[in-house]
Structure 1
Amino acid sequence: MRVVIVGAGEVGSNIAASLADSHDVVVVDVDPERVEEVKYSLDVLAIEGDGASIDTLEEAGVADADLLIASTDDDETNLATCGTAKALGDPFTIARVKQVGFLRTWERSRGAFDVDFMVCSNLVAAEDIVQVIGLPAAVNVEQFAQGLVQMAEFEIGESSSVAGQTVSEADQYELLTFAAILRDDDVEIPDGDSRIEAGDRVVVIGMPKAVHEFALTAAPTRMPNDATNVFVVGGGEIGFQTAQLLQERGLSPRLVERDPERARELAEQLSETVVLQMDATDTDALERENVGTADVVVAALDSDQNSLFAALVAKRLGAKRAVAVVEDGDHRDLFETVGVDAAVNPRVVTAEEITRITREETAEKLTFIEDDRAEVFEVEVDGDSVLAGRPIRESVADLPRGVVVGSIVRDRELVSPRGDTVVEVGDHVVLFVDSSVAEEVTAAV
């Protein structure tokens, strides 16, 4: 498949890296430094130029492309790029936007703006934040099989009761699979004798109830029974969307916004949210508003520096958990190292969503672990799949190392994925896969 990606920033580069091994990829950007970086770091053709320009897209070969991804930081440029691409040929067009208004317009009339699929960075980031809030001890959470299966990644602290245990000792839960242990730069596919150490990150897949029960054991001090007391710090688009999603789940969050006019606007739009007009970096004001009593504080301010400050102040005041929006992907590990419980990068989650769409013929749902060290995806098994009609033990033996069958859903019921379990045509299977073999596995299943 020929893919043209316009925009070589964090989103475009991540997408290009995930597609370069198996597709003919062309990357376009106006910044010559980005073009040079992509050219020498990825096996792609990189072109300097304006992606909305018909001359540039002709040079990139859009007329013969199967897929055009517009992923710059400017919404209007991305929409114009899709329109220009449709004037030259008939690629499937995907546009990244930040403004939810563009998404709502497109949802009313699919194909509007000459866009075949649209991803809103601010909305997918808010959805990711709400997933993490729903399972407070986790650093990464995703739902599969229409909510019947949950994947979660937990960081194991020194006080965790599973630290020092083998997987067999820790596995006391029905319909839960220990998919991986992440240690330093290694991805270990565990067996019963694998030992879980403090500092490891453990990926589990299974029934949401079982995942929640494991969370209570893995990180009991960071797992309130119900995350009902939520503070959202910052009334920008991500903060607003997060509060709105929390309202839809029956919660009444509190939202802090400094600008009086914006605070009034938010109060009018968020009927179940208490909007506090105050400076989110004012420690005394945060203390007066009892931020320290919060189950979760979401820091979504206008800069990474301010978000980090607000998150750490909230933790110091006593908040059980802090989630921060991180615009610069290089800051993500730093945030979590200094005490933020989970850092959400809108560009990374957007790249994941767009990459999922490029694989929609085989993977119904896709998420990445530790950016790109591993993938978890859902497939519906057909008659050509290596999994069909065979015990898991046999089919996995025919796949490259680095694959775990995490869960099986059959007729809306979970089936325990043991070695002798036979996968049937029509089953929905959730797989954990090392990224180095992901393309090969996707083609086989």
Structure 2
Amino acid sequence: MRILTLGGGTVGRWIADMLCRRRHSVTLIDSDPEIVRSINSELDVRAIEGNASQSTVLFSADVLSADLCLAVTGDDEVNIVAASMAKALGARRAIARVYAPAFRDLSTFDYQRHFQIDSLLSLEQLSASELARAIRNPDAIPLEHFARGQLQVYEMDVAAGSAAAGKKLMELQLPPSVRVGSLAREGRMWIASGADETRAGDRVSLVGMPDAVSVARQIFGGEKRRRKQSKVMIAGGGETGYHLAGLLGREDFRTVLLEQDAKRCEQLAKLLPDVTVVHANANRRSVLEDEGGGTVDYFVGCTGNDENNIMAGVEARELGASRVMCVVGRPDYANVVGKLGIDLAVSERDVVARQILGFLNEGAIISQSKLPNGSIGVYELEILEGSAVTQASLANLPLAGRCLIAAIQRDGFVRVPTASDVLEVNDIIVALIDLSDADEVLSLFHSD
């Protein structure tokens, strides 16, 4: 595929090198002549000097034939403008990297929709999502970066004596804006269908709008038994720590966040009212002892500094933390962290690599990923003119047990579909697909 990368800094250069090694044709634009000269001499990449947000420069990089444009400069505004221009000038897909949370906050302004960009990627958000999944359940459906982050995924066990136990899903009075995404029983997970009967002890994933998911939980959870809260301590209140704390619900987690910048603490306390924000240096053993670092179920180091994350994690492990995780950017640290007692090291590079590789698709597929169990794929699909899925309602399409449409994005709004919904051209959907039937199911989404 032909990839246009805008920005030759640390991230842009690494992405270009990774894609080049996978035999993609890569063109890179950067305004620094030294960076351009270095990339041209060291990588099998065509590097061009220029401003990525100028149309003449984009034309010289052959934006018209680009399958994917990745705007990853160090400036959020340049990335958004450049990706928008690339899309308008002919690139099939355009993605912009953003750092500031405001650009992903749909409550104020929808930048992605306004600028017609396929996706806004935040390395910090992706890293936080990876950590949150590891804390909640590594096999959970990763929808945080799909459906504009508006859907909630909640996994729970079916309680004995609950309204759902022993009944088929089609018999349950679930809210219209929630779906059962998957069922897991005796080590096997599959896509749920209305004919499936739930049993006590089954693990179900509820997908939907937050309020509706809360109602559905009562149907599967039986009597009001409070689930034991897990204790989580987060070292570092930067963007990764902030996103992680926000992703962990207050019902299941008691979260403490340590941050040494006083002004940042004040901001976090307002943004995260359910999180205990402590003004303290997480790299001091005495601080971890005083704040209960040795009694937590999960300790996460995401201070923005690899060495500080590792040292804080080692101290927490020695104090008695059950599981220790940290964000580690340097590839040469990968073999070290496990030997130091750290259970999971999340690399921003690895996370963003998986995300970008998921966008290298043709036809209706925008992006795809696979659940750790290996049997279910999560697809983001664009509904094309002439595709078979536009010819009937969801109930009348041959999808039961093989594909579940978890969300529809139409005119900038995301909702959970009902059986009577008919997909329309230009809709964006999130679908769970049984990988053994993937080819047959995906053929329904391709245009004639």
TM-score range, shorter-chain basis?
Answer: 0.5 to 0.7
Distance 1:69 1:323, change over 3 A: same
Deviation sequence 1:115-142 (CA, Å, 0-9, x none): 332112222211111001124xx6x976
* 1:410 match: 402
Say yes or no: does 1:175 pair with 2:165.
no
Say yes or no: does 1:342 pair with 2:355.
no
- Counterpart secondary structure, 1:358: coil
Distance in 2 between residues matched to 1:239 and 1:271, nearest whole Å: 15
Instruction: Answer yes or no: is the 8 Å Cα contact 2:376–2:432 preserved in 1.
Output: no
Distance in 1 between residues matched to 2:434 and 2:109, nearest whole Å: 29
TM-score between both structures, scaled by the size of structure 1? 0.60
Gaps of 5+ in 1: 150-171, 178-206, 211-224, 381-407, 413-425, 432-442
Say yes or no: does 1:93 pair with 2:94.
yes
- Counterpart secondary structure, 2:4: strand
Of the candidates 293, 296, 299, which is equivalent to residue 298 of structure 2?
Answer: 296
AA at the equivalent of 1:302: G
Say yes or no: does 1:312 pair with 2:304.
no
**Superposition pairs for residues 45-84 of structure 1, below 5 Å?**
45-84=46-85
**Superposition pairs for residues 371-410 of structure 1, below 5 Å?**
377-378=377-378, 409-410=401-402
Distance in 1 between residues matched to 2:53 and 2:319, nearest whole Å: 48
Distance in 1 between residues matched to 2:432 and 2:291, nearest whole Å: 50
Deviation, structure 1 residue 284: 0.8
AA at the equivalent of 1:51: A
Deviation, structure 1 residue 49: 4.0
Instruction: Answer yes or no: is the 8 Å Cα contact 1:311–1:322 preserved in 2.
Output: yes
Kindly tell me the number of residue pairs found equivalent between the two proteins: 324
Distance in 2 between residues matched to 1:9 and 1:39, nearest whole Å: 14
Instruction: Answer yes or no: is the 8 Å Cα contact 2:375–2:434 preserved in 1.
Output: no
* 1:7 match: 7
Distance in 2 between residues matched to 1:63 and 1:346, nearest whole Å: 30
Distance 1:109 1:249, change over 3 A: farther
AA at the equivalent of 2:121: V
Distance in 1 between residues matched to 2:99 and 2:317, nearest whole Å: 29
Instruction: Answer yes or no: is the 8 Å Cα contact 2:282–2:288 preserved in 1.
Output: yes
Deviation, structure 1 residue 291: 0.5
Instruction: Answer yes or no: is the 8 Å Cα contact 2:29–2:48 preserved in 1.
Output: yes
Deviation sequence 1:300-337 (CA, Å, 0-9, x none): 11311111111111111111111111233443343334
Deviation, structure 1 residue 287: 0.7
Distance in 1 between residues matched to 2:235 and 2:189, nearest whole Å: 35
- Counterpart secondary structure, 2:359: helix
Of the candidates 257, 264, 274, which is equivalent to residue 259 of structure 2?
Answer: 257
Gaps of 5+ in 2: 156-184, 191-200, 205-226, 381-399, 405-430, 437-445
- Counterpart secondary structure, 2:105: helix
**Superposition pairs for residues 1-400 of structure 1, below 5 Å?**
1-9=1-9, 11-12=11-12, 13-14=14-15, 17-18=18-19, 21=22, 23-30=24-31, 35=36, 43-85=44-86, 88-89=89-90, 91-105=92-106, 108=110, 110-135=112-137, 143=142, 173-175=186-188, 209=203, 228-247=230-249, 250-359=252-361, 361-362=364-365, 365-366=368-369, 377-378=377-378
Deviation, structure 1 residue 244: 1.1
Distance 1:148 1:245, change over 3 A: closer
Instruction: Answer yes or no: is the 8 Å Cα contact 2:237–2:268 preserved in 1.
Output: yes
Deviation, structure 1 residue 299: 0.8
Distance 1:297 1:131, change over 3 A: same
Distance 1:128 1:208, change over 3 A: farther
Deviation, structure 1 residue 228: 0.5
Distance in 2 between residues matched to 1:245 and 1:341, nearest whole Å: 20
Distance in 1 between residues matched to 2:312 and 2:432, nearest whole Å: 45
Instruction: Answer yes or no: is the 8 Å Cα contact 1:227–1:295 preserved in 2.
Output: no
Instruction: Answer yes or no: is the 8 Å Cα contact 1:69–1:93 preserved in 2.
Output: yes
- Counterpart secondary structure, 2:248: helix
TM-score between both structures, scaled by the size of structure 2? 0.60
CA RMSD of aligned residues (A): 4.3
Instruction: Answer yes or no: is the 8 Å Cα contact 1:26–1:60 preserved in 2.
Output: yes
Deviation sequence 1:42-64 (CA, Å, 0-9, x none): 65433344433444323211134
Instruction: Answer yes or no: is the 8 Å Cα contact 1:66–1:90 preserved in 2.
Output: yes
Distance in 2 between residues matched to 1:427 and 1:77, nearest whole Å: 34
Distance 1:367 1:410, change over 3 A: closer
AA at the equivalent of 1:232: I
